[in-house]
Amino acid sequence: MSDKSFGVKELNLLKASGTPTIESSNNLSINAVNVAISTDVSIGGTCTATQFDGALGVWTLGANGSSDYTFTGTGLSGTVNDPDLNLVRGQTYIFKNRSGGHPFRIQTSYQNTSGTAYNTGVTNNSAANGTDLIFKVPHDAPNPLFYQCTAHTNMSGRFDIVGVTTALSTGVGIGSQALYIDSNSGSYGNGIRFSASILPTVNNAYDLGSASYKVRDVFEDDSSDIVLKQDIVDYIGGLDLVNNLKVVNFTWKDGFYKAGQRETGLIAQNVKESLDKSSYESKDAWYTSSDGIQGLDKKRLIPALISAIQELTSRIGELEDELKNK
């Protein structure tokens, strides 16, 4: 049978009993400017959408006397009293208040009928019975927020506000921040966990912290347990190594991020030459970066400094003994 096209102005599905069904052995496509469905929809399989502009969660609110709201809807199994809910920044949620005389308000405090209402992104806050409260969670919404019956203290619950913050033209964040993450709880405690290296996109261009927002602690692998070491031999020679290092005053050249700054420090080439002449085995105190620029991991020179001080202390002790014997 050849394909045929036809136009339908209105289609009513009527059946004496049961559920009217549209079936197709192939895909069924609906292509229209808008498709309006005025009743609930149940999907028995996978729903794939290229864009979603509706509510991510919808709940109908009832009441358990004056002690609890009852919720039925998205993500809940049956009816639940005063559940804690996760709301995602940037998404929309609908709360259908059918609880009777229990106005439903989103606010900043828990179990407080006089709490401060949170109105940003909220339509019909303090929704009365028969009213739908709609909450489009702002990208900068605080975490947590709470819902409250304005007439009964115990009818209250928590919203955990999750997800990244506002999207701007330069990235995701607030203000000029590229990414803002706020972690208040979790099975791993506060913070961000990762399983890969974190690298800047440009060499010598970005900082960890700033003069106003300092990083309190940086923990790295400083394992030094003797159970991890073998072939242990005393190192002597720190004084010779230190004496070969040149400490200089200098100005950073244009083109480097510290351009124009005066500093006192070491020259990487001189440090490498001194390391090569010594028996000091932490040669990685000197390195070459991918752009060919030489650098120093100065903390790896600390054992040489300790050795130099010990050698000086020993020599001073010997001189003191000679003076005593004269």
Tens digits of residue pLDDT in 153-204: 999 999 999 875 544 333 444 444 455 555 544 444 456 667 778 888 777 7
Buried b (16+ CB within 10 A) or exposed e, 94-118: bbbbebeebbbbbbeeeeebebeeb
The percentage of the chain sitting over the pLDDT mark of 90, rounded to a whole number, equals 51
Q: For the chain, what is the radius of gyration of the CA atoms?
A: 35
Pairing of strands 85-88, 156-162: parallel
Cα 78 → chain centroid? 33
Q: Assess whether pLDDT exceeds 60 at residue 51.
A: no
CATH code: domain 55-162 is 2.60.40.420
Average pLDDT over residues 82-101: 92
Contact indicator for 154, 102 with CB cutoff of 8 Å: no
Compute CA distances 168 → 89, 122, 173, 175, 205, whole Å.
14, 22, 7, 8, 22
**Residue 104 corresponds to which tokens in the numbers above?**
């439903």
Residue 173's pLDDT is 45
Going from N- to C-terminal start, the domains of the chain cover 55-162, 232-310
- For the chain, percent of residues with pLDDT exceeding 70: 81
**pLDDT tens string 201-250:** 777 778 888 888 888 888 888 888 999 999 999 999 999 999 999 999 99
Mean pLDDT of 261-265: 94
**Cβ(117)–Cβ(107) below 8 Å:** yes
CA dist., res. 51 & res. 34, Å (int) = 13
What is the CATH code of the structural domain delimited by 232-310? Answer: 1.10.10.10
Give the list of residues 6+ apart from residue 263 with CB closer than 8 angstroms, or none.
Answer: 249, 250, 251, 252
Pairing relationship of beta strands 286-288 and 80-81 according to DSSP bridges: unpaired
